[in-house]
Amino acid sequence: MILTVTLNTALDLTYRVRSLRPHTSHRVTEVIERPGGKGVNVARVLAALGHETTVTGFVGGATGRAIRDRLSGTPGLTDALVPVAGATRRTIAIVDELSGDTTQLNEPGPQIAPTEWGAFLDRYEELVPGASAVALCGSLPPGVPVGAYANLVRAARAHGVFVLLDTSGEPLRRGVAARPDLIKPNADELAELTGSHEPLRATQDARRRGAHAVVASLGADGLLAATPQGRWRAAPPARIHGNPTGAGDSAVAGLLSGLVERLPWPERLARAVALSAATVRAPAAGEFDPAEYEELRGRVVVAGVVSAA
């Protein structure tokens, strides 16, 4: 079982419009509603790949109930979410059909009370020993300590469980110091962590700060990995246009599935890039077409890179 943690779950809404223009009214041509938040997206992709997955984190209010209702019908996915008094947030992606661009609107999460945080920690300690890997994903809702991920990383490592961290800012900085097995920042998050805007140098610096391995998302240019086994770049066969919501989460799912299947790093990276690209092309956030994924996977370019001085 792979455990994914989403402390700031969301109900993802995708609106499609012919052309998005400020200061005007728009007729929405399609509305798609899906359970979301980074770890929830990761779990849905893992389940689609055939991996038994458990999701935990917080849910509350009508949006929280909607998330649980939609997760309940997902084969291979177990709901271990913790209820809270506040309402789960929504995220809104507005897709401009003419340009292919997407505008993202993210609501804040609910205020988490100390007792609710304690209930989550109890649930986490129950689940971690039975996991083959843990993914800690996304932002922290109000009320959750900024060092939360660092504590969750240490708890997973205490049980000998592989732990991946995908967050940003101060939670990432503190989490890296707890020595996670893998972090997956994007280029901006990596630069904020290390102070370096040269990706290869920054990945190596992130490893010196505590991360065992680093896979950095370079957007349309794919992924850059710095690991104890080597360094690689993996890129899609061509620039992919569409809705990027959930693409990074699909990459995380590719990396975790490759880990538990014991694939070598180049194959993990090819899977992650292909899943990410297929997710960008999909009409709804955090989904992918299996046939398109397989076609893209065979065309991903993975190459070793020389270490920065």
Q: Crossing angle of helices 38-48/247-260, nearest 10°?
A: 50
Question: Do 198 and 308 touch, CB atoms closer than 8 A?
Answer: yes
Catalytic entry in 181, 205, 249, 289: 249
Measured distance CA(119)–CA(309) in Å, rounded = 47
Cα-Cα-Cα-Cα torsion 94, 252, 169, 151, nearest 10 degrees, comes to 130
Q: Which secondary structure element, helix H or strand E, spans residue 269, and what is its range?
A: helix 265-281
Q: Map tokens 């899906």 to a residue.
A: 34
Nearest C-alpha neighbor of 238 from the set 188, 190, 197, 292? 292
Q: Which letter, b or e, does each residue of 199-217 get, where b requires 16 or more Cβ atoms within 10 Å of its Cβ?
A: bbebbbbbbeebbebbbbb
Question: Do 150 and 177 touch, CB atoms closer than 8 A?
Answer: yes
Measured distance CA(12)–CA(9) in Å, rounded = 9
C-alpha distances out from residue 300 to 205, 223, 237, 276, Å: 27, 11, 6, 11
Q: What does DSSP say about strands 223-227 and 230-235: parallel, antiparallel, or unpaired?
A: antiparallel
Active site residue 221: no
Question: Do 189 and 172 touch, CB atoms closer than 8 A?
Answer: yes
Any idea which residues carry the catalytic annotation?
Answer: 249
